[in-house]
């Protein structure tokens, strides 16, 4: 009985801290992005996208024009690196990129 009770409390705590299902964690996204994405973008075209490569997200002729397209592009880029990420990590990076660069309405 006691075990059951502590499990319920634990589950309740997890539930309360999980927050809205669709909001990714932009700080985790920033970290994932730093570790996995910057190097390649920064090395493209003699570094025209800047040292952190983020110029590619705000370039004049950028290719991404919707949140959906952003998801797809992050998935594609990530998959080209190796194993795909779980959706939660894609979500975190998309949230980071959208809040800082793309600013599409959610």
Rank residues 10 and 52 by Cβ distance to ligand HEC and give the closer one: 52
Report if residue 37 touches ligand HEC, rule: CB under 6 A: yes
Sequence-distant contacts of 54-57: CB under 8 A, at least 24 apart: 54/100, 54/101, 57/97, 57/101, 57/102
Among 52, 62, 68, 88, binds ligand HEC (CB under 6 A): 62
Stretch that binds ligand HEC, among 1-9, 11-19, 20-28, 61-69 (CB under 6 A): 61-69
For residues 26-54, one letter each, b for 16 or more C-beta atoms within 10 angstroms of the residue's C-beta and e for the rest, the string is bebbbebbeebbbeebbeeeeeebeeebb
Report if residue 80 touches ligand HEC, rule: CB under 6 A: yes
Report if residue 49 touches ligand HEC, rule: CB under 6 A: no
Q: Rounded to whole angstroms, how far apart are CA atoms 27 and 63?
A: 24
Stretch that binds ligand HEC, among 3-11, 13-21, 35-43 (CB under 6 A): 35-43
Q: Rounded to whole angstroms, how far apart are CA atoms 70 and 43?
A: 21
Question: Contact residues for ligand HEC (CB under 6 A)?
Answer: 33, 36-37, 40-41, 56-57, 62-64, 70, 73-74, 77-78, 80-81, 93, 97
């Amino acid at each position: 009985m006691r075990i059951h009770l502590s499990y319920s409390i634990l589950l309740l705590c997890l539930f309360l801290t999980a927050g809205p299902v669709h909001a990714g964690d932009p700080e985790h996204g920033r970290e994932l992005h730093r570790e996995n994405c910057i190097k390649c973008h920064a090395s493209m075209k003699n570094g025209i996208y800047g040292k952190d490569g983020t110029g590619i997200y705000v370039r004049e002729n950028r290719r991404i024009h919707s949140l959906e397209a952003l998801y797809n592009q992050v998935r594609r880029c990530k998959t080209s690196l190796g194993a795909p990420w779980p959706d939660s990590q894609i979500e975190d990076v998309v949230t980071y990129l959208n809040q800082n660069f793309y600013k599409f309405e959610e």
